[in-house]
């Protein structure tokens, strides 16, 4: 399926994929800013801005924003990451213009009412508290903080209680006016819509040069440095029933030449119920209910990790098994059967994602905002199917090393297992 890339005269990039066999269209505006681009006194401001774009524009109040799409059976949401913020709608194709009108109105003309910020500030502070109460989220945050120590990737996307408590309406408004500029904006649309319609309406709603409007300062977007990864362990005490653990190493950026080799490695290690971790940790040993591995790419780096939780008396054994299974990947490689299974899982996931306009939109928007390119999915499938057992083992040898290990733990007590011995079987 053809992916169209166009650029409006003001610099906004428009990515379109027509899906004529679906009823829906997913429309999204991506801003090329997130927590990694915040100044020292701006921690969590990208996420705060995401919340406040729903609180009223010059034409609509927060109630009208909330109800407009539901009146036509549509949905709207947003999310913030380290490197971008995305606002999106999903609706029937016939409501595409309504969606783009609403999204662009929020993106360009949000008023950030002080009364609404006074309420939403409390909501975000409770969101921070919620994450602190979720051990699986907290252990992942601790892992990132340790792995990316000293780099913006290690900062919490959501901010801290101290930083969010200090923001005023003027901080939100200034950040939006500077960072939400045409040069850093992508419109990604996928579904039952035509490219020409997308371009015509994009010009109508996003085509003027708002970067030159009064009160919008220029933002020189900085180039993030490659992270200098750190190793080590971190433990946070929580009076809960289980110990939650994340064990991992530095990974790859999402546009690395062998990124899909790492994805195949991940699929074999902990990507499903037939994976090594699921079979060894849960099925054979009964150590946990939930275990998996994960690839988390960024624009300039990434991570590869395993996660599980178990009762305190089983935590030491769990850690040894996680480490041993990771070490086996590097020492002994993978079988042809495992490789074929992982390739087919990945291929099926890629191709079946084309049946959902939201999945297609996410791939289009994220690829463009991070890497300024969107590859055809047939090319990606071919790349996955070309991975060899030798390439998977070489990837494991390259990444899974004792001196690179990061271990984060959250629970009632810390297991007495040395980090340096976890890759010994």
CATH architecture of 3-212: 2-Layer Sandwich (3.30)
**What confidence tier does 424 reach under pLDDT thresholds 50, 70, 90?**
confident
Distances (CA, A) of 360 to 3, 365, 412: 10, 9, 42
Which of 230, 131, 142 lies closest to 409 in space, CA to CA? Answer: 142
Residue 50 designated active-site: yes
Contact at 8 Å (CB) between 15 and 3?
Answer: yes
What value does the mean pLDDT of the chain take? 96
- Six-digit token pair at 55? 């609180």
Q: Is the pLDDT of residue 182 over 80?
A: yes
* Residues 233-291: tens digit of each pLDDT: 999 999 999 999 999 999 999 999 999 999 999 999 999 899 999 999 999 999 999 99
What predicted TM-score, i.e. pTM, was given to this entire model?
0.95
The CATH class for the domain spanning 232-421 reads alpha beta
Q: Is the pLDDT of residue 134 over 90?
A: yes
* Residues 365-398: tens digit of each pLDDT: 999 999 999 999 999 999 999 999 999 999 999 9
Task: Give residue 1's pLDDT.
Answer: 75
Cα–Cα dist 14/45, whole Å: 26
> Phi first, then psi: what are they for 80, rounded to 5°?
-125, 140
Share of the chain above pLDDT 70, in %: 100
* Residues 202-215: tens digit of each pLDDT: 999 999 999 888 77
Task: Give residue 213's pLDDT.
Answer: 80
Task: Give residue 212's pLDDT.
Answer: 83
* Residues 31-74: tens digit of each pLDDT: 999 999 999 899 999 999 999 999 999 999 999 999 999 999 99
Over residues 336-355, the mean pLDDT reads 95
Phi-psi region of 390 (alpha: psi -120 to 50; beta: other; left: phi over 0): alpha
Contact at 8 Å (CB) between 105 and 31?
Answer: no
Task: Give residue 214's pLDDT.
Answer: 72
**Using CA atoms in the order 12, 17, 21, 24, what is the torsion angle rounded to 10 degrees?**
-30
Which of 18, 38, 42, 50 is catalytic? The answer is 50
Where do you find CATH 3.30.830.10 in the chain? 3-212, 232-421
> Phi first, then psi: what are they for 245, rounded to 5°?
-130, 145
In 207-314, which ranges are continuous DSSP H helix? 259-270, 276-277
């Amino acid at each position: 399926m053809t992916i169209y890339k166009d650029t409006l005269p003001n610099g906004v990039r428009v990515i379109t994929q027509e899906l004529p066999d679906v009823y829906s269209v997913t429309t999204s505006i991506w801003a090329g800013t997130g927590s990694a681009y915040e100044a020292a006194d701006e921690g969590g401001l990208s996420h705060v801005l995401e919340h406040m774009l729903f609180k009223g524009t010059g034409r609509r109040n927060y109630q009208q924003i909330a109800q407009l799409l539901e009146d036509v059976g549509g949905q709207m949401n947003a999310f913030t990451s380290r490197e971008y913020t995305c606002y999106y709608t999903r609706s029937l194709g016939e409501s595409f213009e309504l969606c783009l009108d609403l999204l662009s109105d929020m993106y360009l003309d949000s008023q950030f009412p002080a009364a609404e910020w006074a309420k939403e500030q409390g909501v975000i502070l409770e969101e921070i508290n919620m994450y602190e109460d979720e051990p699986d989220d907290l252990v992942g945050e601790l892992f990132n903080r340790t792995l990316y120590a000293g780099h913006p990737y290690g900062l919490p996307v959501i901010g801290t209680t101290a930083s969010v408590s200090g923001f005023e309406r003027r901080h939100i408004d200034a950040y939006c006016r500077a960072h939400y500029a045409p040069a850093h904006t992508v419109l990604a649309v996928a579904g039952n819509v035509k490219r020409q319609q997308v371009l015509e309406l994009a010009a109508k709603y996003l085509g003027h040069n708002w970067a030159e409007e009064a009160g919008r300062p220029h933002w020189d977007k900085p180039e993030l440095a490659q992270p200098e990864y750190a190793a080590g362990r971190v433990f946070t005490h929580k009076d809960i029933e289980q110990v939650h653990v994340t064990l991992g190493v530095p990974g790859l950026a999402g546009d690395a030449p062998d990124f899909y080799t790492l994805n195949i490695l991940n699929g074999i290690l902990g990507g499903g119920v037939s994976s090594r971790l699921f079979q060894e940790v849960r099925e054979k040993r009964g150590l946990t209910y939930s275990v998996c591995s994960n690839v988390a790419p960024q624009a300039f780096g990434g991570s590869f990790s395993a996660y599980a939780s178990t009762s305190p008396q089983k935590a030491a054994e769990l850690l040894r098994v996680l480490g041993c299974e990771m070490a086996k990947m590097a020492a002994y490689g993978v079988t042809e059967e495992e490789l074929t299974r992982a390739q087919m899982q990945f291929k099926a996931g890629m191709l079946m994602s084309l049946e959902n306009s939201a999945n297609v939109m996410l791939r289009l928007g994220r690829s463009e905002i991070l890497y300024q390119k969107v590859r055809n999915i047939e090319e990606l499938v071919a790349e996955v199917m070309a991975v060899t057992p030798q390439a998977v083992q070489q990837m494991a040898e390259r990444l899974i090393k004792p001196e690179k290990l990061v271990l984060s733990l959250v629970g009632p007590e810390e297991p007495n297992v040395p980090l340096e011995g976890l890759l010994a079987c």
